[in-house]
Amino acid sequence: MKFNKIKISALLLIGAVCITSCTDNFEELNRDPKNPTRTTLPATFNGILSSLPLAYNEMSVIHFGRYYFQSQQLGNARLTYSITSGVDDIWNNYYLALKDIRQMETFIASGETGQLKSDNIKALTNILLAYKTLRMTDYVGDMPFFDAGKGSQGSEFFKAKYDKQEEIYKYCIDLLKQASVDIVDSEEQYSLKNGDTFYQGDVMAWKKFANSLALRYAMQAATADASYNAVIGEILNDQGKYPLMSQGESATLFAGPVMDSHPWSYRENNNSCLGTAMWRAMSDNDNTDGSGIFDPRCYVFFEPNVNGEWKAYPQNPDNNTPIQDRGAYLTASYPNGRGEGQTEQDWANKGEGCRFSPVNFYLATNYDYIPEILMTAAEVHFLKAEAYNRGIGVTKNATTAKNEYETGIRSSITFWYDKIVTPCAKWYLHKPVLQTGQLDAYLAKEAYSSDEQTALKQIYKQMWIDAFRQPWVGFNLYRRTLETPRDETSPYNPADYQFYQMPVSESEKLYNYENYMAATQDRDETGIKLFWHK
């Protein structure tokens, strides 16, 4: 387990105190003309981008231990460590990045861009603020936000009050929409140059990312607040003003060799595997030779067991369910985490206890070619299909819903093959290939139903499958709809699925105790629904 060296609330509080009381004449006394201590605007922005990859225990503890189990996107997903380490990760990651975002706001307000206009850099900063904040508030609900990260601005900000998630949602969605409008393609605008390692200055890509995020979270909020229907309608009815990501435009991030949290987390959760909920969404039968598989993504997500068989782990195992023990499969083949020296024997290097189909070796271990997924274009198409199916913000239109549904499927399958499998140079053994006609056959198999409710469930199913590497998306979709694929066969226990949000970090309780108590009364938040949960 990766342990954090410092608690975020302590860091922010101590850092804020030091900034205001411990730095008199520090710059003058310690100035090195060759190594200035003052950071730059591009470096600070790139620092925010570096916080986007998932943290180690965020994946290992929260995603595997909570979200995959609740969403049923994996089988044999269990919490094997204390939840504290995962909670620390998300609080640390968010509030350290928020400190950088506040620094960006200070740079912009102080005229750091000189004679060049700052509209674009302000908009891009706000997009990242909204993205990270909406992700965070979906983890924890109410949280310090509006006054948080401002310790350098005065002692009154050392301990920030908690803000309601509903208010945070409205603010962030408005930020995203306004950012899209504010971004312009002009040489008069300040350019980040190498500081934009995400979209490399592509202003249209940033616009589409912002609006796609706004659509995602407006659809979530609309579950509980009908006023968001207008937001959805505003976006969908004016694609000129609010362009969205479309097929081939998924938001992904390559973070280089430092982004090894994926293989580490899969190694820590070595025995997670194909579950019966996902298997039934991808195969017509339980034939162990895989002859019932009709979803091409199955070969990307999973692989056969030690005996070459396709077998799904019961989503609700009983005492007679055999153990799943993948052995040293993930570690023996990648001794240094990067895959050098891989041999044909690796495919068979599974423990004798690997009785069920594990997550595909390459998808689990590679981080040179497989990116961090922030949002897929397929999800955007499925959200549009949902809106037109239900008449959320737009007039119901079965034809448009069907077209978006089919485009979403094409986008998802081609994404997993063209953007994940094919470019991965180290995926050279048993590499799946999308065969001619396979995609059309799948569309025929999963043809959009003429029954409105059945069709809606089809949309949710596809969004749930596409989000396999984004369990927070699958978890959130389940929580807002209760209509994602489920295996509730005996001994299914509904009490096991009453998890809704992460608890507050222990350091936050310690250093921001009064505000924490005022917001939570020290109750167990994990069993309390967020405002948009069903």
Question: Are residues 366 and 378 located together in one domain of the fold?
Answer: no
Which helix (H) or strand (E) is 463 found in, with range? helix 452-466
Residue 101 token pair: 């975002």
Per-residue pLDDT of 410-445, as tens digits, reads 999 999 999 999 998 888 778 999 999 999 999 999
Q: What's the average model confidence in pLDDT over 105-132?
A: 95
In the predicted model, is pLDDT for residue 258 greater than 60?
no
Q: Outline where 22-117 has alpha helix (H).
A: 26-29, 41-49, 56-57, 68-71, 84-109
User: Length of the chain in residues, anyone?
Assistant: 534
Question: Are residues 431 and 458 located together in one domain of the fold?
Answer: yes
In the predicted model, is pLDDT for residue 5 greater than 80?
no
Which helix (H) or strand (E) is 409 found in, with range? helix 398-414
- The three-class DSSP label of residue 226 is coil
pLDDT band at residue 48, thresholds of 50, 70 and 90? Answer: very high
Averaged pLDDT score across all residues of the chain: 88
Q: Which of 351, 373, 395 is the last residue of a domain?
A: 373
CA 277 from centre of chain: 21
Question: Are residues 456 and 336 located together in one domain of the fold?
Answer: no
517 CB neighbour count, 10 Å cutoff = 12
Q: What is the pTM of this model?
A: 0.91
DSSP assignment, residue 253? E
Note whether residue 462 is domain-resident.
yes
Q: Which residue is it, tokens 């401002």? A: 150
Please state, in angstroms and rounded to a whole number, the distance separating the CA atoms of residues 182 and 18. 36
- Total domains in the chain come to 3
Beta bridge partner(s), residue 358 = 273
Q: Would you say 237 and 400 are in contact if contact means Cβ atoms under 8 Å apart?
A: no
Q: What end-to-end distance do the CA atoms of the chain give, in Å?
A: 33
Note whether residue 493 is domain-resident.
no
In the predicted model, is pLDDT for residue 341 greater than 70?
no
- The three-class DSSP label of residue 374 is strand
In the predicted model, is pLDDT for residue 235 greater than 80?
yes
Please state, in angstroms and rounded to a whole number, the distance separating the CA atoms of residues 60 and 56. 6
Note whether residue 386 is domain-resident.
yes
Question: Are residues 402 and 509 located together in one domain of the fold?
Answer: no
pLDDT at position 96: 95
pLDDT at position 223: 95
Note whether residue 224 is domain-resident.
no
Question: Are residues 479 and 521 located together in one domain of the fold?
Answer: no
Please state, in angstroms and rounded to a whole number, the distance separating the CA atoms of residues 218 and 229. 8
Please state, in angstroms and rounded to a whole number, the distance separating the CA atoms of residues 278 and 269. 18
Please state, in angstroms and rounded to a whole number, the distance separating the CA atoms of residues 68 and 480. 16
**Least confident span in 145-149, 255-259, 263-267, 342-346:** 342-346
pLDDT band at residue 268, thresholds of 50, 70 and 90? Answer: confident
pLDDT band at residue 195, thresholds of 50, 70 and 90? Answer: confident
Question: Are residues 400 and 465 located together in one domain of the fold?
Answer: yes
Note whether residue 253 is domain-resident.
no
Q: Outline where 141-202 has alpha helix (H).
A: 165-182
Higher pLDDT, 329 or 42: 42
In the predicted model, is pLDDT for residue 388 greater than 90?
yes
In the predicted model, is pLDDT for residue 13 greater than 70?
no
Please state, in angstroms and rounded to a whole number, the distance separating the CA atoms of residues 130 and 388. 26
* CATH classification at residue 121: 1.25.40
Residue 234 token pair: 């505003």
Question: Are residues 32 and 145 located together in one domain of the fold?
Answer: yes
pLDDT at position 14: 34
In the predicted model, is pLDDT for residue 364 greater than 90?
no
Instruction: Identify which of 125, 92, 94, 107 has the alpha carbon closest to the alpha carbon of residue 198.
Output: 125
Question: Are residues 358 and 392 located together in one domain of the fold?
Answer: no
pLDDT at position 346: 58
Per-residue pLDDT of 502-524, as tens digits, reads 999 999 999 999 999 999 998 88
Question: Are residues 382 and 331 located together in one domain of the fold?
Answer: no
Note whether residue 342 is domain-resident.
yes
pLDDT at position 87: 96
pLDDT at position 173: 98
Q: Which of 343, 373, 403 is the last residue of a domain?
A: 373
Q: Would you say 13 and 511 are in contact if contact means Cβ atoms under 8 Å apart?
A: yes
Higher pLDDT, 11 or 356: 356
Note whether residue 269 is domain-resident.
yes
* CATH classification at residue 402: 1.20.120
What does the buried/exposed string (b/e) look like for 442-479 if buried means 16 or more CB atoms within 10 Å of the residue's CB?
beeebebeeeeeebbebbbbbbbbbbbbbbbbbbbbbb
Return the percent helix, strand and coil in the chain, to nearest 5: 50, 5, 45
Ramachandran class of 400: left when φ > 0, alpha when ψ lies in -120 to 50, beta otherwise: alpha
Q: Would you say 13 and 158 are in contact if contact means Cβ atoms under 8 Å apart?
A: yes
pLDDT > 90 fraction of the chain, expressed in percent and rounded: 73
523 CB neighbour count, 10 Å cutoff = 9
Q: What's the average model confidence in pLDDT over 130-149?
A: 96
Please state, in angstroms and rounded to a whole number, the distance separating the CA atoms of residues 365 and 469. 13
Question: Are residues 363 and 392 located together in one domain of the fold?
Answer: no
pLDDT at position 352: 87
Q: Which residue is it, tokens 């004798």? A: 352
Q: Which of 345, 373, 401 is the last residue of a domain?
A: 373
In the predicted model, is pLDDT for residue 6 greater than 50?
no
Contacts of 377 (CB under 8 A, 6+ apart): 245, 246, 247, 248, 249, 250, 411, 415
Question: Are residues 314 and 179 located together in one domain of the fold?
Answer: no
Note whether residue 73 is domain-resident.
no
Instruction: Identify which of 167, 172, 210 has the alpha carbon closest to the alpha carbon of residue 531.
Output: 167
Please state, in angstroms and rounded to a whole number, the distance separating the CA atoms of residues 289 and 46. 48
Per-residue pLDDT of 279-335, as tens digits, reads 999 999 999 999 999 999 999 999 999 999 999 999 999 999 999 988 776 665 444
Residue 211 token pair: 């609006």
- Residue ranges making up the domain that contains 474: 374-484
**Least confident span in 175-189, 358-372, 509-523:** 358-372
Question: Are residues 294 and 427 located together in one domain of the fold?
Answer: no
Q: Where are the beta strands (DSSP E) in 238-376?
A: 251-253, 372-375
